[in-house]
Copies of this chain bind each other. A is one copy, B any other.
Amino acid sequence: MSAVLAYLKENRDQLLNKLTDFLTIPSISTDSIHKQDVQKAADFVVRYLKEIGFENVDKQETKGHPLVYAEYNGAGEEAPTVLFYGHYDVQPVDPIDEWTSDPFKPEIRDERIYARGASDDKGQVFMHLAVFEAYMKTEGKLPINVKVCIEGEEEIGSEHLYEVLQSDKERFHADFAVISDSGMVAANQPTILYGLKGFTGIEVKVTGPDHDLHSGIYGGAVRNPITALSHILASMKNEEEVITVEGFYDDVEPLSDEERKLISEVPSEDYRNSTGIPETVSEQGYTPQEHTMGRPTFEINGIYGGYQGEGTKTIIPSTATAKITCRIVPGQNPNKIQDLLEKHIMKAAPAGVKVEVKKEKLSARAYKVEPSNPLIKVAAESYTKAFGKETVYIRMGGSIPVVEWIEAIYNIPIVLLGFGTPEDRLHSPNESFPLDSFDKGMETLVYYWEKLGQK
């Protein structure tokens, strides 16, 4: 193992040069102009995997961008098999003027490498490949068996991934999965992400008159759809941030005392500074961190109806619409939550208007792996050893579709090993990744594979 670490140290410049080549390819998946670049990035990954010594390396075409697959079976039947997922496509770069250096000419400044994809996710994918290379070059083998699945459509919703995962279950089957497409709560703060929320959404549309009416002539005889919508929305969550939809919390797995303790150990974000809000609010009985990480949320993402221009237009509008999404936690079923929301809304709908609920098709269950799971414990130890700092455990309010799908199709534990930092500016101009994370992240992976291979 020390030889592996030494290899990474000695070859750091060469590895950074190789990462630079990878980051130079503008593999923007959403932009058809870059279709060939996306292919080039896939080819880069294919070439690298072959160099390392992976078997069955395959660029699997989809209706969109290809998925790169590879296997390593040399660790023996006793050793566990990991499914390593990542993506080689990147976000667009607009507004281009705000970049200090060219997003596709990687530049190192202040111990960070600046480029689109440096953190999300090319940089983190590359670290895994470099660690595999180091093992093969020094020990001639990997401690574990690996299935590699690196897609080119993550930034456009992983459009064809579910189909692929579903269509060849044998191919992608593994004992557990590892994904490095997330971050740590602070630079140099090893972080285990052990849970994600699911989500579900609805749209409520209230229709009153069939056209906008003169408020002077009709005001007093006609229900105002915006007022009706306000009443409905106000009835769904109270000022204490408690969701007042009947049955909403019924299936929520309660936060255990252990989890509340873990959450309390996570360094708190300075919300006032990062968001400009005068003060935080959270569900009665829970801290903002407990709520964001471990309790379901109800957010109105958008609302519109009637006149939105300058000045005044004295109308009773014909319609008012609100878009709502809920982030749900383990135990909750997104379809059931949609049904409860719909039922509540229909019950709250006042006379004089028509209320319609449209259920969003995209929805996902929450994901959680127990912090006490050995795969998690070993990851935490590896992090701590590499970063020299105790690992914190977090759950996140966001959703990662691939996590939900791997869980749904294969029902295996998923270990989310993120090395990004809050300063990485994902999806924004001047994306970067700290070289410190690059070094210590690879070190973490070396410890992790080594330890898992010994089991």
Instruction: Give residues in A with beta carbon < 8 Å to B.
Output: 197, 199, 201, 208-211, 213-224, 226-227, 229-231, 233-235, 237, 239, 241, 271, 275-283, 286, 288-293, 295, 297, 299-308, 311-317, 320-323, 325, 327, 350-354, 360, 362, 396-399
- Contact check, B214 vs A277: say whether CB atoms are below 8 A apart: no
Interface centre among A210, A211, A278, A321 (most CB of B within 10 A): A278
- Contact check, B397 vs A327: say whether CB atoms are below 8 A apart: no
- Contact check, A275 vs B218: say whether CB atoms are below 8 A apart: yes
Instruction: Given contact pairs A221-B292, A224-B299, enumerate 16 new A-B contacts (beta carbons under 8 Å).
Output: A197-B216, A199-B216, A209-B277, A215-B297, A215-B397, A216-B327, A216-B396, A216-B398, A220-B286, A221-B271, A221-B280, A226-B303, A230-B233, A230-B300, A277-B353, A302-B308
Give the complex CA separation of A214 and B273 in angstroms: 16
Contact A303:B301 (CB < 8 A) given known A201-B312, A220-B397, A397-B215: no
Measured CB to CB, the nearest residue on chain B to A352 is: B281
- Contact check, A215 vs B306: say whether CB atoms are below 8 A apart: no
- Contact check, A314 vs B300: say whether CB atoms are below 8 A apart: no
- Contact check, B301 vs A317: say whether CB atoms are below 8 A apart: yes
Q: Which residues of chain B come closer than 8 Å to A235, judged between CB atoms?
A: 234
Q: Which of B222, B297, B320 contacts A220 (CB 8 A)?
A: B297
Give the complex CA separation of A362 and B314 in angstroms: 12
Give the complex CA separation of A196 and B237 in angstroms: 40
Q: Which of B222, B303, B316 contacts A303 (CB 8 A)?
A: B303
Measured CB to CB, the nearest residue on chain B to A315 is: B301
Q: Which residues of chain B come closer than 8 Å to A275, judged between CB atoms?
A: 208-211, 213, 218, 222
Q: Which residues of chain B come closer than 8 Å to A209, judged between CB atoms?
A: 275-277
Nearest CB on B from A263, distance (A): 11
Measured CB to CB, the nearest residue on chain B to A209 is: B275
Measured CB to CB, the nearest residue on chain B to A228 is: B239
Q: Which of B216, B314, B323 contacts A306 (CB 8 A)?
A: B323
Contact A303:B300 (CB < 8 A) given known A221-B289, A351-B281, A397-B220: no
Give the complex CA separation of A307 and B301 in angstroms: 6
Give the complex CA separation of A211 and B271 in angstroms: 12
Interface centre among A220, A275, A277, A279 (most CB of B within 10 A): A220
- Contact check, A230 vs B221: say whether CB atoms are below 8 A apart: no
Q: Which residues of chain B come closer than 8 Å to A327, judged between CB atoms?
A: 215-216, 219-220
Q: Which residues of chain B come closer than 8 Å to A208, judged between CB atoms?
A: 275, 277
Give the complex CA separation of A215 and B230 in angstroms: 21
- Contact check, A281 vs B215: say whether CB atoms are below 8 A apart: no
Give the complex CA separation of A214 and B197 in angstroms: 13
Give the complex CA separation of A219 and B271 in angstroms: 12
Interface centre among A199, A292, A303 (most CB of B within 10 A): A303
- Contact check, B220 vs A288: say whether CB atoms are below 8 A apart: yes
Q: Which residues of chain B come closer than 8 Å to A201, judged between CB atoms?
A: 312, 314
- Contact check, B307 vs A305: say whether CB atoms are below 8 A apart: no
Measured CB to CB, the nearest residue on chain B to A197 is: B216
- Contact check, A271 vs B222: say whether CB atoms are below 8 A apart: yes
Give the complex CA separation of A361 and B213 in angstroms: 22
